[in-house]
């Protein structure tokens, strides 16, 4: 199989879907690798590094799509709604596309892919089962987002995170509150603790209490009915407005006592729940910082603006939407490893696509085939729209 890698066209995207190390692994497995010139440059991977690992550098995007049997993408159409549409004319029937497509948020884009008769696989839909952990790009990218959120907060706050005993007296530690203890939240907790902050964490799933405490943070207990807070795939479910109202009431005091709040609560394909209200923000001390990792879908904090930094009563609110792209070397490395493992899952010993719809990973990630949208969840979204 010829595997192609094109340069990302989404504004500000610095990641690349395949790094030279993975190109070598694909070559060893019998695949040919075609890389658009400059595709990895912004992530720290020059063309020469790919050539040294056996990849062929091609001059333009059209050549990648023309010659490749499978194209690797960080952001395909849907996850790249403007520029991604330009690739439609380059695609050919039965070509395999593997990347992120935001299918739950942009189902109509998946319909456009189907019309090109390609076979598209969405990495966002990799099931959260043990066998698929090595392919889970959402977890990989959330790890980086959680890390970078704390770095951003530490750089923005007028306080230092650790407690210091100095000749000028004791400097008290900053108090950090992390809302949501998924992969991003747990990483944020771990990094904040390593920087010396006093850290608290909260999640609607009581089962994660042990994980939060194992990282040295205090788990904030809230007497709420949380049954059914996650779906069968391990992803967060949308909670009722009454549940969110009660949660906000109980959370207000913790937010007010925090110098840094990091929010991570996102529901795939849905608007982010508002967990930090304007009233909570106004009760925070001047100089406090909120980093809202759910900004791309509206934000967990009332007032968050995607990719903007705003101030409300002296509190700074940051709404980054693509933090993994700000650490492009390691983000690309992790993404690439996930993707190449996924390709191995899809192919037989001869390196050819071998779809098995009884295989949970194949079935749950396949979006389009033979000119049709075949994923049941996307079909339902299209019917409802």
Q: Is 128 a residue of the active site? A: yes
User: Rounded to whole angstroms, how far apart are CA atoms 77 and 87?
Assistant: 8
- Set 36, 95, 139, 325: catalytic member: 139
- Set 136, 203, 292, 364: catalytic member: 136
- Set 50, 65, 147, 235: catalytic member: 235
**Strands 260-263 and 175-179: what pairing?**
parallel
Angle formed at CA 96 by CA 93 and CA 101, multiple of 5 degrees: 110
**Strands 175-179 and 198-202: what pairing?**
parallel
DSSP state of 157: S
- Set 108, 128, 194, 205: catalytic member: 128
Q: Is 235 a residue of the active site? A: yes
Q: Is 140 a residue of the active site? A: no
Instruction: Answer yes or no: are the C-beta atoms of 276 and 263 closer than 8 Å.
Output: yes
Instruction: Answer yes or no: are the C-beta atoms of 192 and 150 closer than 8 Å.
Output: yes
User: Which residues have a Cβ under 8 Å from the Cβ of 1 and sit 6 or more positions away?
Assistant: 30, 31, 32, 69, 70, 347, 351, 352, 353
Q: Is 311 a residue of the active site? A: no
The closest of 362, 342, 335, 383 to 110, measured between CA atoms, is 383
Residue located via tokens 């705003």: 310
Instruction: Answer yes or no: are the C-beta atoms of 285 and 312 closer than 8 Å.
Output: no
- Set 86, 133, 164, 257: catalytic member: 133
Positive/negative CA dihedral, 257, 260, 263, 264 = negative
Find the helix packing angle between 20-28 and 328-346, rounded to 10°.
Answer: 20
User: Rounded to whole angstroms, how far apart are CA atoms 300 and 271?
Assistant: 9
So which residues are the catalytic ones?
128, 133, 136, 139, 235
């Amino acid at each position: 199989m010829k595997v192609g890698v094109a340069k990302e066209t989404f504004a500000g995207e610095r990641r690349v879907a395949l790094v030279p190390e993975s190109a070598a692994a694909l070559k060893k497995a019998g695949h040919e690798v075609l890389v658009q010139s400059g595709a990895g440059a912004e992530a720290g991977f020059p063309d020469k590094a790919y050539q040294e690992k056996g990849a062929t550098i091609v001059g333009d995007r059209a050549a990648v799509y023309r010659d490749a049997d499978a194209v690797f993408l960080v952001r395909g159409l849907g996850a790249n709604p403007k520029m991604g549409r330009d690739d439609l004319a380059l695609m050919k029937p039965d070509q395999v596309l593997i990347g992120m497509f935001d299918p739950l948020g942009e189902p109509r884009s998946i319909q456009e892919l189907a019309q090109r008769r390609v076979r598209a696989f969405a990495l966002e839909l990799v099931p959260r089962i043990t066998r698929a952990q090595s392919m889970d790009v959402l977890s990989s990218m959330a790890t980086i987002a959680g890390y970078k959120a704390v770095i951003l907060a530490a750089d923005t706050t007028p306080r230092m995170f650790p407690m210091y005993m100095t000749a000028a007296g004791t400097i008290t530690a900053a108090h950090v509150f992390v809302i949501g203890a998924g992969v991003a939240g747990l990483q944020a907790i771990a990094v904040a603790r390593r920087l010396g902050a006093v850290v608290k964490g909260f999640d609607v799933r009581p089962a994660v209490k042990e994980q939060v405490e194992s990282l040295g943070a205090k788990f904030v207990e809230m007497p709420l009915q949380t049954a059914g807070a996650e779906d069968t795939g391990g992803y967060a479910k949308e909670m009722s407005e009454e549940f969110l109202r009660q949660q906000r009431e109980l959370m207000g005091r913790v937010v007010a006592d925090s110098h840094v709040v990091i929010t991570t609560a996102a529901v795939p394909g849905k608007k982010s729940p508002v967990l930090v209200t304007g009233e909570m923000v106004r009760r925070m001390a001047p100089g406090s910082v909120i980093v809202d990792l759910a900004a791309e879908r509206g934000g967990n904090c009332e007032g968050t603006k995607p990719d903007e930094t705003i101030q409300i009563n002296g509190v700074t609110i940051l709404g980054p939407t693509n933090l993994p792209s700000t650490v492009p070397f390691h983000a690309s490395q992790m993404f690439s490893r996930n993707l190449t493992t996924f390709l191995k899952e899809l192919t037989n010993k001869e390196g050819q696509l071998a779809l098995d719809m009884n295989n949970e990973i194949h079935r749950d990630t396949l979006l389009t085939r033979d000119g049709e949208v075949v994923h049941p969840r996307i079909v339902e979204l299209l019917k409802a729209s």
